[in-house]
Amino acid sequence: MGAHRLLVLCLALAAAVAAAAGQRPSAVTVGALFTYESTIGRAAQLAIELAVDDVNADTVVLAGTKLNLITQDTNCSSFLGTIQALELMEKKVIAVIGPQSSGIAHVISHVVNELHVPLLSFAATDPTLSASEYPYFLRSTISDYVQMHAVASIVDYYQWKVVTAIFVDDAYGRGGVSVLGDALAAKRARISYEAAIPPNSNADVISDVLFTANMMESRVFVVHVNPDTGMRLFSIANKLRMMASGYVWIVTDWLAAVPDSSRSRDLDMSYIQRILFLRQHTPDSDAKTKFISKWNNMAHDRSIDSALNLYGFYAYDSVWIVANAIDRFLDSGQQISFSTDPRLHDSNGSTLHLSTLKIFDGGEQLLQQLLLTNITGLTGQVRFDSDRNLVQPAYDILNIGGSESRLIGYWSNYSGLSVAPPEILYRKPPNTSTSAQQLYSVVWPGDTTTKPRGWVFPNNGQPLRVGVPNKLSFKELVSGGTGPDNVSGYNIDIFNAAIKLLPYPVPCQFIVIGDGISNPNYDNIISRISTNSLDAAVGDFSIVKNRTKIAEFTQPYIEAGLVIVAPARRATSSAWAFLKPFTVEMWCVTGALFIFVGVVVWILEHRTNEEFRGSPRQQVLTIFWFSFSTMFFAHRQDTGSALGRFVLIIWLFVVLIINSSYTASLTSILTVQQLATGITGLDNLVASPLPIGYQTGKFVKNYLIDELKIPESRLVPLTTVQEYADALNRGPENGGVAAIVDEMPYVEILMSSHCNFRIVGQQFTREGWGFAFRRDSPLAADVSTAILKLSESGQLRRIHDKWFTDPSCRSEDSGLGAVQLNLGSFWGLFLVCALICVLAVMVFLAKVCWQYSRYSNSGAAGEPGDAAAINTATVAEIHRTKPKPTRLGSFKELMQFVDKKEEEIKKIMKRRLSEKDTQATGSSDPSPEKVLADFKSFR
């Protein structure tokens, strides 16, 4: 030991001389802490030595400066590890690689914090080793914070909801399981039982822990221990038959070091078959292949029995991280120097030489250089993020089968689960969606490829404690009977049928809640599940928001939304009932439209259709007869024009709609029942001051007060079906209620025996009834599946008909509150019809004006052009009979033109055009008598 200290002093002196000269020191010293005789330590020791040799042989990194290494054995003990760390600090190391244990790292981190010596661990994965508490601690491997999120992703991928965590009860185990609980909660899963194994436990202790864990419901076990404890654990689990079909074992990365570090002939893998385990992902490279060959050759030369594992790669990279940081530290002109801490001094009589512990003056600068690391090592890219964790962490997921492990996929924090290597996915956009998550098939314990259910009913001898409400009313739904063995009802039948469909036995113990005199509070029953007083609740429990926060509900087995039920009576008839289908406005507008359409058809048909001509009195009668006869499709006049037929088709369609609506409304008014209280729907009920009934103990009261803002003074609690009927029959004026708000199944039971009540308006909520279990209970999902099977097979309907069907009121009409049809229901139809009529008239007038223009032009052309050809008497006659060309005369002539038959107009125009042609060819002029006749015919 004295010679060793002398060597260190000489090296320190040489460094001081070099610093004084402003040159790089000839050597720098770093330390290493690990357990020599351990699975991780044996691989790491040789890897560190090889890394130091490679650094010293490199001509770029630390050129001219030798890297010296001092190692200390921590012996897997926090106490001994602390002593070894203090001895290492006495030798003035500027950085420490290790330790491999998270527990020792917690203690040593306090030492390096005080002495400003960076600590770079290649195996301490406890996530509680945070930079905020230990600023000089740096991790060159993947934190368990990342690994536990990988485990949670696997659990979520296979849709398991509860797991049992088996862990070593130290800082490493507790820190990892704490993160696992948070990661599972984010996936809507949970740890149902934590099985803690004390450190250095013997086989009996481990056996007791596993036996207790096996009594729980979960069959998904997550094992987070150290290698030595883990191998004993699986040996005992195999003896307890916990490696059989139905079990799932997910093991963290500690297991990856065991088969890698052991020669195949030395490791019995028969009792770890078909389990899943994680291994830090390190991409293949030439450097990695060369290192493996070098490590194996060196191990053979030194007769080392163990083999290389992944921690050897991280240890090798740790040396290079430190070497590169020191190189940059020296390049920046920093000098290696130490100073005395005045708080550390030797006490009188103490053999502890605390004064030999010095503070590294450049510790902060070297730490910053370590954080700037960006190299490619054996484990891939080595770079730290803002939280001082490695970037792009990834894991291999393996399935043990036989003597080998089969790769089933990868996990990375970049894209989650995949079958493609992470380095390929890094070149693509991240995709963590559920559909993108993939793994290859797995062979599970029991040599099956079928995914285990992941849980069983707890084998602790306790039946499922099922709470059942004992009600005074509606015993068709659920009845407590005379005790727990006599419960019955619709809900109980469905629950028992669903339990029988489960692929495993579930013993149930019904616990009747309530005295049978008054209805129990349903929210209190559900809350007893959250306090573990009950395991489940079966009855008419609605799935509402506040209950889902404290219990897990199954698939609804019946729709049970809220409806309003009110008393109804037969409508009294009257002599004028036939007028009730339409309002006064509707009658007036309909009559006006009949007349308007008749006038339009007369205008369109008058010039071409003899049936629309005659004396003024006949034409008025024709308009009215045609209009109103179309109501019965009995009109005798045929339409000849295209426009008339088009308008008639549209009008007949409108008449059809009016007739159908009138008939339906009149039928409804004469046959349906009317509401006795005037309540027609939810809005009307809320706005009125009338009292409202509700069922005692149900959520309806809170809904009416909190959601609909109805004053509590208006609410009347009711319990039995008879109380419902009496309150509705009495009505508000006699101390009853105007309506009752309740769920549909209760209303069905009420109306099956009381035919004078009817549902008002529509169902205004969409709740359903379900069975309640503890939060995240897998039994809820299995019972939901059973309910769907009952529905598909028709058994759910048969159970419903058994308890609900009563034909006593089936023939009654369920219509309520027929109302008059007003103009608002038809204004669109009437508007379209009117617009089409106006358009047809406009087209007709345009056609007439065009004809009149042609007629006038033809008349001018046909007038005598030679005044000498007409005798004086004829001219005098023309001037005597021809009116003055005034505006009034032109409009009168146009009306006369319109009143003439279109056939006559065409004949005159044809004759005039013929005469024009005759004049053009030199024919004799028309006689004066002919001109006078044409003029008179125009008049």
List, in order, residues 6 or more apart from 756 with CB less than 8 Å away. 567, 568, 569, 729
Q: Is 830 helix (H, G, I), strand (E, B) or coil?
A: helix
Q: Say if CB 713 and CB 759 are below 8 A apart.
A: no
Q: Can you say how many angstroms the Cα of residue 540 is from the centroid of all Cα atoms in its chain? A: 27
Q: 481: which 2 tokens?
A: 């009977």
Q: Say if CB 47 and CB 9 are below 8 A apart.
A: no
What's the confidence (pLDDT) of residue 861?
46
List, in order, residues 6 or more apart from 728 with CB less than 8 Å away. 565, 566, 567, 693, 736, 737, 739, 740, 757
Q: Is 59 helix (H, G, I), strand (E, B) or coil?
A: coil
Q: Does residue 539 come out as left (phi exceeding 0), alpha (psi in the -120 to 50 range) or beta?
A: left
Q: Say if CB 566 and CB 747 are below 8 A apart.
A: no
User: What is the reported pTM?
Assistant: 0.64
Q: 757: which 2 tokens?
A: 């009540």
Q: Is 261 helix (H, G, I), strand (E, B) or coil?
A: helix
* Backbone phi and psi for residue 873, each to the nearest 5 degrees, phi listed first: -65, -40
Count of CB atoms situated within 10 Å of the CB of 511? 19
What's the confidence (pLDDT) of residue 126?
92
Q: Write the DSSP string, 513-581.
A: ES-SSSPPPHHHHHHHHHTTS-SEE-SS-B--HHHHTTSEE---SEE--EEEEEEEEEPPP-TTGGGTT
Torsion of CA 735, 737, 738, 739, to 10 degrees: -170
Q: What DSSP element (H or E) covers 166?
A: strand 162-168
Burial 485-498 (b: 16+ CB within 10 A, else e): eebbbbbbbbbebb
CA neighbours closer than 13 Å in the CB half-sphere of residue 672: 16
Q: Does residue 190 come out as left (phi exceeding 0), alpha (psi in the -120 to 50 range) or beta?
A: beta
Residue with tokens 């889902």: 548
Q: Give the whole-angstrom CA distance, residue 748 versus residue 758.
A: 10
The beta strand positions in 321-391, using DSSP E, are: 338-340, 358-360, 374-377, 380-383
Q: Give the whole-angstrom CA distance, residue 605 versus residue 610.
A: 8
Q: What's the chain's Rg over C-alpha atoms?
A: 50
Q: What is the DSSP letter of 611?
A: G
Q: What is the DSSP letter of 70?
A: E
Q: Give the whole-angstrom CA distance, residue 728 versus residue 754.
A: 11
Q: Say if CB 252 and CB 143 are below 8 A apart.
A: no
Q: Say if CB 24 and CB 330 are below 8 A apart.
A: yes
Q: Can you say how many angstroms the Cα of residue 256 is from the centroid of all Cα atoms in its chain? A: 37
Residues 412-449 pLDDT 10s: 989 899 999 999 998 888 887 877 889 999 999 989 99
Q: Give the whole-angstrom CA distance, residue 341 versus residue 355.
A: 8
Q: Cα(first)–Cα(last) distance of the chain, in Å?
A: 147
List, in order, residues 6 or more apart from 391 with CB less than 8 Å away. 381, 383, 384, 385
Nearest to 35 by CA among 73, 70, 67: 73
What's the confidence (pLDDT) of residue 678?
66
Q: Give the whole-angstrom CA distance, residue 743 versus residue 453.
A: 36
**Residue numbers of the chain with a pLDDT score lower than 50:** 1-4, 6-8, 17-21, 264-265, 673, 810-817, 861-889, 923-924, 935-939
Q: Give the whole-angstrom CA distance, residue 379 versus residue 2.
A: 39
3-state helix, strand, coil in the chain (%, to 5): 50, 15, 35
What's the confidence (pLDDT) of residue 348?
55
Q: Does residue 584 come out as left (phi exceeding 0), alpha (psi in the -120 to 50 range) or beta?
A: alpha
What's the confidence (pLDDT) of residue 857?
65
Q: Give the whole-angstrom CA distance, residue 81 versus residue 73.
A: 7
What's the confidence (pLDDT) of residue 453?
87
* Backbone phi and psi for residue 642, each to the nearest 5 degrees, phi listed first: -65, -40
Q: 268: which 2 tokens?
A: 């019995």
* Backbone phi and psi for residue 240, each to the nearest 5 degrees, phi listed first: -85, 5
Nearest to 54 by CA among 221, 355, 294: 294
User: Could you tell me the sign of the dihedral formed by the alpha carbons of 670, 671, 675, 680, in that order?
Assistant: negative
Residues 492-524 pLDDT 10s: 999 999 999 987 788 889 999 988 888 888 999
CA neighbours closer than 13 Å in the CB half-sphere of residue 7: 10
User: Could you tell me the sign of the dihedral formed by the alpha carbons of 606, 609, 614, 618, in that order?
Assistant: negative
Q: What is the DSSP letter of 333?
A: T
For every residue of 457-479, which 3-state class applies, written as one string?
CCCCCCCEEEEEECCCCCCCCCE
Residue with tokens 């004028």: 576
Q: What DSSP element (H or E) covers 380?
A: strand 380-383
Q: 832: which 2 tokens?
A: 């379209």
Q: Give the whole-angstrom CA distance, residue 46 versus residue 52.
A: 10
Q: Give the whole-angstrom CA distance, residue 11 versus residue 29.
A: 9
Work out the angle between the directed axes of helices 616-629 and 584-605 (0-180°, nearest 10).
130
Q: 141: which 2 tokens?
A: 């491997």
Q: Give the whole-angstrom CA distance, residue 104 versus residue 853.
A: 114
Q: How many residues does this entry show for the chain? A: 939
Q: Say if CB 520 and CB 469 are below 8 A apart.
A: yes
CA neighbours closer than 13 Å in the CB half-sphere of residue 617: 0
Count of CB atoms situated within 10 Å of the CB of 418? 22
CA neighbours closer than 13 Å in the CB half-sphere of residue 469: 30
